[in-house]
Amino acid sequence: MLVSVLEEHDAETAERRGVALDAATGGEVWSHSVAHAGEATLHNGRLVLAGGDDWKGSVALDARTGALQWEESPGGDGPEFDMSTAEVLDDDSLLVLDRDRAPWALSLDTGEAERYDVEERRIGSVQLSADLAVVRVETPTESGVDPMTLVFARP
């Protein structure tokens, strides 16, 4: 089975669809539409969409069936709490950034959220590999933004 995310071209809803296709026939196995969806991540049988219906922070679907597993909106509902990106941290958790680029860790099993305290810093991009996380961090200053890159190694 092939699982993919298709972007519909509806500027009003920014709708995206998670779609599973039969690898042998190309036929659609399931489809699940989510309005206001951002990045998608496929991991351990789950398709997680950053963003979601009614401005939910993240939505997780079962990759085999398309069934909704959980929705989580850390910090509240509304456009200001919509998540813009999702990256797998490990087998148990996902890193998501809210619209203010504050980092949250979500449980892949339940969607339970925990916010990371980064003081006044904003997270830019996050790149992950098996052993390293490379994080661009921006700190607001009087003259603008002071960017830096942090590299974390997994013990």
Q: Across residues 41-57, what is the average pLDDT?
A: 72
All structural domains of the chain with their residue ranges: 2-117, 118-155
The pTM assigned to this predicted structure is 0.65
Q: How many other CB atoms sit within 10 Å of the CB of residue 82?
A: 22
- The Cα 44–Cα 23 span in angstroms is 18
Q: How confident is the model at residue 44 (pLDDT cuts 50, 70, 90)?
A: confident
Q: What digits encode the pLDDT tens for the residues 15-26?
A: 666 778 888 888
CATH of domain 2-117: 2.40.128.630
**Among residues 71, 128, 74, 135, which one has the least CA distance to residue 100?**
74
Residue 93 is predicted with a pLDDT of: 79
**Summary count for the chain: helices (H), strands (E):** 0, 14
Residue 105 is predicted with a pLDDT of: 78
Q: For 1-5, 39-43, 49-53, 111-115, which range has the lowest pLDDT when averaged over its residues?
A: 1-5
